[in-house]
Structure formats: C-alpha cells, structure tokens
Chains A and B, each alone.
Chain A
Amino acid sequence: MGVTEQGLLEREKDTMTLNMGPSHPSTHGVFRAVLEMDGEIVGSADPDIGYLHTGIEKTSENKRYVHVIPMTDRLDYLNPPGNNLAFCLTTEKLLQIEIPPRAQYLRVIHCELARIASHLVWLATHALDIGAMTVFLYAWREREMILDLNEEISGVRMMTSYIRVGGVAKDATPPWLKGVRDFVNYFPAKVDEYEKLLTQNPIWLDRTQGVGVMSREEAINFSMSGPCLRGSGVDFDFRKKRPYSGYENFKFAVPTRKEGDVYSRYLVRVEEMRQSRDIIAQALDRLPVGDHKAPDNKVSLPPRDTLHNSMEALIHHFKLVSEGISVPRGETYVPIEGPRGEVGFYIVSDGSNVPYRVKLRAPSFMAIHGMCEMMSGSFIADVVAIIGSVDIVMGEVDR
C-alpha cells in the first residue's frame, strides 16, 4: 500500500476484506467467512471451517459399534436421534437383521420429536438474527418440552443415544406416551402462533423474500439437501422416496416451494413441523405391541431378569458387554432424512467388532459451499439471513 501526494493511503483495490467469525453470534457455531466487500455488496465469500474438528471419524475407527453411537450424537447436536438412526440403520444393513415394528415406531416418534426440536432452534435463532426476539423465546419454550420428554425416556436431554443397534434402548412407558400425546395436542396452536408473528409480517417479508435465491438446478448441482432443496422446488424427501424404519406406514405431505429464497425455506420448515407432528400422532395411534429391540442375542442384550436363570442369556450378556457386536465384512451406505437433509454413514467393516471406516455424509458440510455462492452478490445485512436459512450445524461440518 502506497501513500498519495496528499498523504492519504492509496488503495490497491476498490474492495474491502471483511472477516466474519469464527465467534459471531449469527454463524451458529464457529464458522468463519472472509467476505470480499464492494461497498455494501458481498463480492465473494470464502468459508473457513475446522474450528470444531474433534476427529470423531478417526476415533470411531478405534471404538466398538455400540461406543460409536454416543459420538454420533455430538455430530449434529440438534438432531442426535437422526444421527443414531443413520448409524444404526447402516450397521443393521450390514448385519442383515430385522427390527420389530414397535422399535421402528418408537424410532420414528423419537426422530420426529427431534426434527421439531431442531426446527424450533432454527426458527428461534434465525428469527433472532433478523431481529424478531419474541419468536426466539416462544420457540425455546416448546423445545424445552421436547427436551423434558427426551430426558424422561433416555435420561438425557439432548444427547439421547436412545436408538441402538437392533432397536431402542428401553421400552416406552405409558406416562411418557401420554406426555408425547399432550405435546402433540398442544403444539399445532403454537405453530400458528409463530406464523402469526412472522409469515405476514412486513419486516420479515422484506428481510427474507428474494434474498439468497437458489434455483432448482443450482440446488441440485451444489448438493444442497433437505429444506434447502425443497425450498428450491425439488420434491425430494428420503422418508417418501425411500422409506426407512417404517415411514411408508404414515401419511404426510412433503412441502415444497418454487421461489428458492430465504422465505420459501422458512415456509417449508414451518410446514415440516406440522407434518412431523402429524406423523407422531399417527405413530401414537397405531403403536404396535411387542419387542422394543430385535430378539437376536448376538446384537441386543437379553432381558435383565433372564440373567438369573438362563446360562445362555448370561453368556450372551457377557459377550456383548465385553466384546460387542461383530459385524460381517462389507461396506454400505444408508441415507435418511434429517432436519437439515440427507444424513448417512458410509461404514466399512472388516468383520471385527470395531468399524474399519466411518464416514458421515453431513448435510451442513455439503451445504456450506452452496451457501457461500448464495452470499455473493447479496447485501451484507442479508448474510446472516442466508446463514440462518441454510441452518448449518458446525458439529457435523467439522466432525
């Protein structure tokens, strides 16, 4: 940089480099973007990630299958059941075991509750970023109820690890089911309340409509998934297209919007909360009776009371606790639909009780590049709206 005759600093270029993050309240974690600003317009955004790298994929290569499940909770920490389910479904596909219907229904209830909770966090923080404080407090209130339900069934509020290989950790109790039923009856009026605050709100419309537009072709090309894909008019949801864990038994709609802007992603997610609520209601109505985990003693622990009078049960218990599940050689990938989009684990097994390679397909990780493309050309004030609307979780980006 030189000095002009008037003694002013000479600029080499007309743009300014602006550092955003890594600790910025609207980046939802530790995400850093280097913005090349041309006045108020973002010229380009260069993402910088890795601040939350915890080496979970590497650690998984040295842990037994059962021990990997609690680590998957910490990947996308707003959707722990979805990660558990993706990992368990992949392992079960390698093991080739059948899951009893009751376990499948309990998994669905648990995952849909997590989807609602995750969307509530998204709505709360996204609205707060744009300046709507009230929604933040309202959404947190309902999320608290879901966390209480999580605590009741799994003992943990967020990192539930409730879904296990072969089924779920323990059977649902009548009080818990009643609690879920109460929540299901209570929740629709609350969604209407959020919508009353935002959907027709002129400030909200100004800040979100026509902002961060992504066309259908771009969304597919940039490997966006979940609500970002459906907000751009792509009708693709793994729960409908390739039903897993019994989703074919439920009636629900997949909301899509054509506009591809921040507002359309907002509408898609709000409608998804209603649909998730409907799925939970149907699952409660038709919850089958039976086992909550596969009766295969090579995979799931035998019932506790049989240990006292069955030698075989005792041996299986000892082997499972001391050695864990042995998974046949092979490799596979099972995609599921998480709140942020396609979640899947690519697992390579060498036939032992420890996975040889675990790779997470994280929707947020794949979305970051597309998100930065959305930012270029937008106003600096819209950057927070775009980041909020893509709903990234840095835990699964950096892994």
Chain B
Amino acid sequence: MTSEEIVERVRTSLGKAVLKGEVTLGDAVVHIAPESLPRVARWLKEDPDLDFDYLSNISGVDYLDLDREPRFEAVYEFHSIEKNHSIRLRVGIGEEHPSVPSVTAIWAGANFPERELFDMFGIAVEGHPNLKRLIMPENWEGHPLRRDYPLTVEDVAFSFNRDYKKELVQQKPPTR
C-alpha cells in the first residue's frame, strides 16, 4: 500500500482515535493520544491489509525548546515484512506525570526501547514487565535526553566541587 492509502485506511477505520493523519516526505504518519495506543497498536498488527508485524524503532522527543504542546512525544516506526510498507505513530505525551502504555505484549521487541524511553526521558511506560533504567546507572538522577537537562555540569561523586555543581544543577542553565 502507498503511504496515502495507509493513512486513509487508518483514518477511516479508527475514526476519532486518530488525531491527525498525514503524509510527510513520503512517510505515512499518524498522530494519536497515549490512551488509544494499545487499541491502535493491536489493530495495526492484526489488520490483514496493514499487517504491521515488525516494530522497528521507538524514539522519544522533548519539544521543550520548540514550545510545542504536548511537550513529549514517543515516535513508533512499524514495518510490515510481507507487505513491505511502513507507518510512523506519533504519540504526544503531556508534561505532568508523562506516561504511555506499553506495547511489549504486542511486540516483544519493544522491551528495550521502552526502557530507554523511561531512562532518557522519564516517560513512565505503564504495563512494562521490567521498567528500570537501561543505559544510565540505576541510581542516576535526571533523564539525560530531556532538553532542560544541564549540559555544563556533571554530577560526579567524590568530586571536589560537588556542592558548587549541585547548585548549578538546580539552576538548570540553558542547554545551548
């Protein structure tokens, strides 16, 4: 199916769950809300015409500097191995207690990228079987890929200027 057909099919079948469907630079892109993710994801996998059986990637984005609402976004890329087409699912997540439902029950491969999403952006993934930090140490403070995570300091234990650095972390200087 072409990207236009995919977006059209998703829009007609899911109705209100689709906040926006578009084709950008040739890619089929569908925006949805976090609460409709499990239903949409399962439908995408089980629909015989779409057959999105392969989860390719989950990216987190923090739109703080672009002043966009909602602040966070989880971006899912799906491929269909048989049909050889793709879709991008963009899930906007609010700033207050950011959370998104897990899709590990639908694609087992989502386990690691969802943990990374939690680790790097502090987005809680509800229903994840093993939600703990993946790349950063377990006692790490903060979520490094958030845009307000301070770049100019590093909070290293045993550092001689630890108190000074703590202060800097609290001040949260601009990232760039």
Contact = CB atoms under 8 A, between A and B. Distances in A.
Interface of A: 49-50, 53, 55, 57-58, 61-62, 93-94, 96, 220-224, 234, 236, 241-242, 330-333, 335, 342, 344, 346, 348, 350, 354, 356-357, 359, 361, 365-366, 368-370, 373, 398-399
A94 B59 contact: no
A258 to B, nearest CB: 15
Contact of A361 (B27, B56, B145): B56
Contact of B61 (A222, A330, A357, A373): A357
Contacts of A368: 112
A58 B144 contact: yes
Given A50-B135, A55-B144, A346-B75, A221 B88 contact: no
B155 interface: no
A369 B116 CA distance: 13
B27 A221 contact: no
A251 to B, nearest CB: 20
Contacts of A365: 112-113
Given A49-B135, A62-B151, 6 more contacts: A241-B84, A331-B61, A344-B57, A346-B57, A346-B59, A366-B113
A365 B145 CA distance: 18
Interface in B77-102: 77, 79, 81, 84, 88
A255 B111 CA distance: 29
B108 A222 contact: yes
B144 A361 contact: no
Contacts of B57: 333, 344, 346, 359, 361, 366
Interface in B106-159: 107-113, 134-137, 144-145, 149, 151
A356 B176 contact: no
B18 interface: no
A242 B84 contact: yes
Contact of B27 (A61, A332, A373): A332
Contact-size category for B: 35 or more
Contact of A221 (B107, B135, B137, B176): B107
Contacts of A331: 24, 61, 75
Contact of A223 (B54, B62, B134): B54
Given A57-B145, A220-B54, A333-B57, A366 B109 contact: yes
B59 A359 contact: yes
A61 B149 CA distance: 12
Contacts of A236: 81
Nearest to A348: B61
A96 B26 CA distance: 11
Contact of A330 (B25, B53, B55, B77): B25
Contacts of B149: 58
A51 to B, nearest CB: 9
12 contacts: A49-B135, A53-B136, A220-B54, A221-B107, A222-B109, A223-B107, A346-B57, A361-B57, A366-B109, A369-B108, A369-B111, A370-B108
B13 interface: no
Contacts of A330: 24-25
A332 B56 CA distance: 14
Contacts of B136: 50, 53
A361 B77 contact: yes
Contacts of A96: 25
A222 B61 CA distance: 23
Contacts of B2: none
Interface in B13-60: 24-25, 27, 53-57, 59-60
Contact of A370 (B65, B109, B176): B109
A333 B110 CA distance: 18
A342 B59 contact: no
A335 B60 CA distance: 17
A330 B81 CA distance: 27
A100 B151 CA distance: 39
A61 B62 CA distance: 12
B145 A333 contact: no
Given A350-B66, A356-B66, A50 B25 contact: no
Nearest to B115: A369
Contacts of B110: 223
Contacts of B176: 62, 354
A365 B109 CA distance: 10
B59 A357 contact: yes
A369 B137 contact: no
A342 B176 CA distance: 32
Nearest to B84: A241
B108 A58 contact: no
Contacts of B84: 241-242
A223 B151 contact: no
B144 A223 contact: no
Contacts of A346: 57, 59, 75, 77
B25 to A, nearest CB: 5
Contacts of B24: 330-332
Nearest to A333: B77
Nearest to A368: B112
A346 B117 CA distance: 14
Of A62, A335, A357, A373, the most chain B CB neighbours within 10 A belong to: A357
A255 to B, nearest CB: 17
